[in-house]
Amino acid sequence: MSDRSARPARTRFTRAELESFRDAEVPDLLPEPGRLRLLFVGINPGLWTAATRTHFAHPVNRFYPALLRAGIIDHPIDPANGMTEEDRERLRARGIGITNVVPRATAKASELSREELRAGGERLVETIQRHRPAVVAIAGITAYRAAFGLPKATLGRQPEPLAGAELWVVPNPSGLNAHATVASLAEAYAAPARAAGVLRD
């Protein structure tokens, strides 16, 4: 029996409960050393993510539906109730990791300062150097531009690697990104997944 079936579903938090997780940090999800092929990078944890200790956890976030539609994962994940250890292990087994540019949880990414984003960019470089993913996919062009001082950067594969990893910038899956759909996100995420060998045609 999975740990999800052993606990009651939790689909909502009060505002006070969520606010209690402000500034909390969420552990990176990473495979064993040498097994990381594709590292997805969020901007920073939202309060729902901090509450569930699960990346991209808000109920309207389209990250996991997009991964499923792209074929990057083959089992649906319900992160809003907290990812199970079985969910995490499936991602690790496929060589997929998840981290953030800035580890501090906020209600909105716009609460982050430019200095935090720059420091987060340096932290990300250190993470890449330690874990050596083949491909890195940063979800959010605005945060990428700020973190690395590249105001003219565009979405897609970047011309230069980051700490030795092939670098892609992909759309943010947040529900606040009205320009993206599950279908368009799936297409965008499939490209770095193919480059990493996680997804094959």
Q: Considering its fold, how many domains does the chain have in total?
A: 1
pLDDT tens sequence across 49-67: 999 999 999 999 999 999 9
Question: Of 120, 136, 130, 197, which is closest to residue 168 (Cα–Cα)?
Answer: 136
Look up residue 162 and give its amino acid. L
- 92 lies in a domain? yes
Looking at residue 1, its pLDDT comes to 37
Residue spans of alpha helices (H) in 38-140? 47-52, 63-70, 85-93, 114-131
Whether residue 13 lies inside any domain: the answer is no
- Domain assignment present for 137: yes
- Inside any domain, residue 5: no
The range of the structural domain enclosing residue 155 comes to 22-196
Closest CA to 157 of 191, 125, 126, 180: 191
pLDDT of residue 33: 84
Do the domain assignments include residue 14? no
Give me the chain's average pLDDT, please: 92
- Per-residue model confidence as pLDDT tens digits over 92-110: 999 999 999 999 999 999 9
How high is the pLDDT of residue 5? Answer: 41
Radius of gyration of the chain (CA): 16
Asked, for residue 17, whether it belongs to a domain, the answer is no
Q: What is the pLDDT of residues 19-47, one digit of tens each?
A: 999 999 999 999 988 899 999 999 999 99
Residue 170 maps to which CATH number? 3.40.470.10
* pLDDT per residue as tens digits for the range 126-146: 999 999 999 999 999 999 999
CA distance 139 to 101: 10
Asked whether residue 122 is domain-assigned, the answer is: yes
Instruction: Flag whether 11 is in a domain.
Output: no
